[in-house]
Structure 1
């Protein structure tokens, strides 16, 4: 199921990973990691990368849904569907690269206790969100 769509199987954790809940996810991670004042500049870069990935995910999902609805699934040629998938995957890859570039310097500032939490919580989810 696409992220952000409601269904009976969507629990609180799945909804928190939705692009529309990125600010809540950022606040949760910041609190759980106990980000210090000294770590704020590096954390800001991580949060900004998460926001950018969420925006991309929302745009991608909206674009895919809009294209399929306007053209109808039968009108989408295999080549057009592959083009769409390629664009989505390219965007996801670039988002993951930006997220990685932000996480590495942040992770280096963490204490051992913070790293133990980060190792469990800083896991990329669909569309490059964490």
Structure 2
């Protein structure tokens, strides 16, 4: 539960990790990339849905909180799709990008991350306000403990990890 709460909320904050892929992609395999990205996209989407379900359960969301919860979950889904799309574009174009193009694309990913985080906070605030003291304590503890683990894990992650490896290592 704790892991899920932070992983969902930190998804946007940690999404730039997806952009730091150094694994080579064969220039002659764009069709293979497109075919391979569909299962990966489905897998990422399934992970987001799994975390949403786990978080819903662990926070003991009540029927009265469902409206706020649905808005928060929808933002998580939207942020996940946005970052996955940007990541796929980066992978597809990285062999042909100039250094300037690379920096501009990274800027786009970083801006999308910031915008997504803002939307996530805006959706979480009314939900958090509606939580009982017990639910707030669970959320507060989860955020504190998971953010510490994320920092520790990222310090030990291999800088040469591929995008997919980095994505699974951070479990956004």
Compute the TM-score of the two structures, normalised by the length of structure 1: 0.74
Gaps of 5+ in 1: 4-17
RMSD: 2.8
Quote how far apart the aligned CAs of 1:120 are: 3.4
Pick one of 24, 27, 37 that aligns with 2:53: 27
Higher relative contact order (CA 8 A, sep 6+): 2
**Aligned pair partner of 2:62 in 27, 33, 36:** 36
CA deviation vs aligned residue, 1:23-64 (integer Å, no higher than 9, x gap): 101000000000000000000111001000110121011111
Moved over 3 A (4+): 120-127
Match of 1:110 among 113, 131, 135: 131
Q: Please name the residue that 2:99 is paired with.
A: 78
Gaps of 5+ in 2: 1-16, 20-42, 151-165
1:1-130 superposed matches below 5 A: 2=18, 19-20=44-45, 21-68=47-94, 72=95, 75-121=96-142
2-side partners of 1:49 and 1:117: how far apart? 21
Q: What SS is found at the alignment partner of 2:64?
A: coil
Q: Distance in 2 between matches of 1:117 and 1:49?
A: 21
Partner SS, residue 76 of structure 1: coil
Q: Is the 8 A contact 1:19 1:57 kept in 2?
A: no
Report if the CA contact (8 A) 1:29-1:121 is conserved: no
Normalising by the residue count of structure 2, what TM-score does the alignment of the two structures yield? 0.57
More helix by share: 2
Give yes or no for contact 1:42–1:105 (8 Å, CA) kept in 2: yes
Q: Distance between the aligned counterparts of 2:51 and 2:120, measured in 1?
A: 15
State the match for 2:159 in structure 1: none
